[in-house]
């Protein structure tokens, strides 16, 4: 492992810390709005309500949108920095870029695809709700579509991304 690679992994750790911190902030805010002062068993059960009811589904969509958004933005920051290595020295850039094709990073890329697709499609849904003045019923139906397309497209994309791992290419 070279110094540049260690630096990348340190940055990558920060990306994950940012995601974890956002989850904490989202849960803390949910606790304030929806629960008591402490994390009690009843609060946890309320937080864990399944998104079978439409309003519950929208709540989960909102949480997921925030967490995926911060995750993508944190990775974007790291990605801008690692690509900027190319201007410094293409060899140095390739050193870091090698990490992207390791099995663990490929797994992360599948998660990134999931976050990107969900955030993009749900974001378009939010725009559509505002532009076409949609009610909760059609917004809920649209959310079902967002989830289905996200899951299917992530599955297809992940299969492509992970194929070299299963073929023993990496």
Partner 1 sequence: MLVDVAPSRPRRLRPRAGYVTIRVTGVMLAVLALGHFATTHVVNDVADTGSSFIAQRWATGLWVTWDAMMLATALLHGAAGLSVLIRDYRSSRRSQGRWIAGVAGGSFVLFLIGAATLMYSALGGR
Q: Nearer Cβ to partner 1, position 57 or 122?
A: 122
User: What is d(CA 15, CA 81) in angstroms, rounded to the nearest whole number?
Assistant: 13
DSSP conformational letter for 89:
-
- Residue 79 to residue 112: CA distance in whole angstroms: 12
Distance CA 151, CA 122 (A): 13
Comparison of 42 and 148: residue with beta carbon closer to partner 1: 148
36 binds partner 1 (CB under 8 A): no
161 touches partner 1 by CB under 8 A: yes
Min. distance of Cβ 52 from partner 1 in angstroms? 26
- Residue 14 · residue 63 · CB < 8 Å: no
**Interface with partner 1 by CB under 8 A: which range of 6-14, 44-52, 115-123, 142-150?**
115-123
| Interaction between residue 109 and partner 1 (CB under 8 A) | yes
Query: Should residue 86 be labelled a site residue for partner 1 when binding is judged by CB under 8 A?
Result: yes
Toward partner 1, which CB reaches closer, 57 or 121? Answer: 121
Going by C-alpha positions, the residue among 154, 128, 151, 153 that lies closest to residue 141 is 128
Other beta carbons within 10 angstroms of residue 72's beta carbon come to: 19
Give the number of C-alpha atoms closer than 13 A to the C-alpha of residue 168, restricted to the C-beta side: 0
The footprint of partner 1 (CB under 8 A) covers 22, 25, 28-29, 66, 69-70, 72-73, 76-77, 80-81, 83-84, 86-87, 90-91, 93-94, 97-98, 100-101, 106, 109, 112-113, 116-117, 120-121, 123-124, 127, 130, 157, 160-161, 164, 169-170
């Amino acid at each position: 492992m070279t110094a540049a690679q260690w630096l990348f992994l340190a940055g990558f750790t920060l990306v994950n810390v940012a995601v974890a911190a956002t989850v904490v902030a989202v849960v803390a805010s949910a606790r304030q709005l929806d629960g008591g002062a402490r994390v009690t068993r009843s609060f946890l059960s309320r937080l864990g309500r399944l998104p079978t009811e439409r309003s519950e589904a929208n709540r989960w969509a909102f949480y997921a949108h925030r967490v995926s958004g911060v995750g993508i933005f944190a990775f974007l920051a790291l990605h801008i920095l690692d690509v900027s290595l190319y201007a410094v020295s293409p060899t140095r850039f390739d050193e870091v870029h090698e990490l992207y094709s390791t099995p663990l990073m490929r797994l992360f890329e599948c998660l990134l695809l999931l976050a990107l697709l969900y955030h993009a499609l749900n974001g378009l849904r939010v725009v559509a709700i505002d532009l076409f003045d949609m009610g909760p019923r059609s917004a809920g139906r649209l959310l079902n579509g967002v989830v289905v397309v996200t899951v299917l497209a992530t599955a297809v994309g992940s299969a492509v991304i992970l194929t070299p791992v299963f073929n023993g290419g990496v």
